[in-house]
Amino acid sequence: MSADPYVLRVNGRDHEVPDAHLGESLLWVLRERLGLPGSKNACEEGECGSCSVQVDGELVCSCLVLAASAVGREVITIEGLAPDGELADVQRAFVEAGAVQCGFCTPGLLMAVDTLLDADPSPDELTVREAISGNLCRCTGYGRILAAVEIAADLRREAS
């Protein structure tokens, strides 16, 4: 069934979604209708975390958000982490630590780490592990990701 046209606020901008179907997920609308393919589509059941975005500041799987139900919410995607084209602290940290291999999980992980560091600027390792427990990476074995989170935390603390 078609949905009435609606507007989504993504990365600080209003986007018209004119001819979507009611059952489309936020992930689908971001990628296929709004041209924001940074959020990745893998499992479509909330298992892998590669589609993670922030909705009103909370980390969620965009594949499990009904897009039309997010009207009036503030959605931040990976594209919104570095709006001016300059890498965000978490992105620099992942590059520096070599925490990116195939890169598919990276956008979701960056959103998870960004959310974590907003809430807890100095997380201990167990806190970090729990915070990224919903983001699957099949390349790195997570060691360099954990190292990247430490670097990102340092960068953010230095900047604040």
Among 5, 7, 13, 71, binds other proteins (CB under 8 A): 71
Nearer to other proteins, 112 or 145 (CB): 112
Q: Which residues contact 109 (CB under 8 A, 6 or more apart)?
A: 49, 52, 94, 99, 132, 135, 137, 145
Beta carbon of residue 86, minimum distance to other proteins (angstroms, whole number): 27
Q: Which of residues 80-109 bind other proteins (CB under 8 A)?
A: none
Q: Does 110 bind other proteins (CB under 8 A)?
A: no
Q: Does 52 bind other proteins (CB under 8 A)?
A: yes
Beta carbon of residue 83, minimum distance to other proteins (angstroms, whole number): 23
Residues that contact other proteins, how many (by CB under 8 A): 31
Rama region for 98: left / alpha / beta (φ>0; ψ in -120 to 50; rest): left
Q: Does 7 bind other proteins (CB under 8 A)?
A: no
CA nearest to 69, candidates 16, 22, 2: 22
Q: Do 24 and 41 touch, CB atoms closer than 8 A?
A: no
Beta carbon of residue 61, minimum distance to other proteins (angstroms, whole number): 5
For residue 104, the SS3 value is coil
Q: Which of residues 113-142 bind other proteins (CB under 8 A)?
A: 115, 130-131, 133-135
Q: Residue 102 is encoded by which pair of tokens? A: 């195939």
Q: Residue 130 is encoded by which pair of tokens? A: 């729990």
Among 49, 80, 107, 123, binds other proteins (CB under 8 A): 49
- Total residues found in the chain within this entry: 160
Q: How far apart are CA 157 and CA 97, in angstroms?
A: 18
Q: Which residues bind other proteins (CB under 8 A)?
A: 1, 3-4, 22-23, 25, 44-47, 49, 52, 58-61, 63-66, 68-69, 71-72, 112, 115, 130-131, 133-135
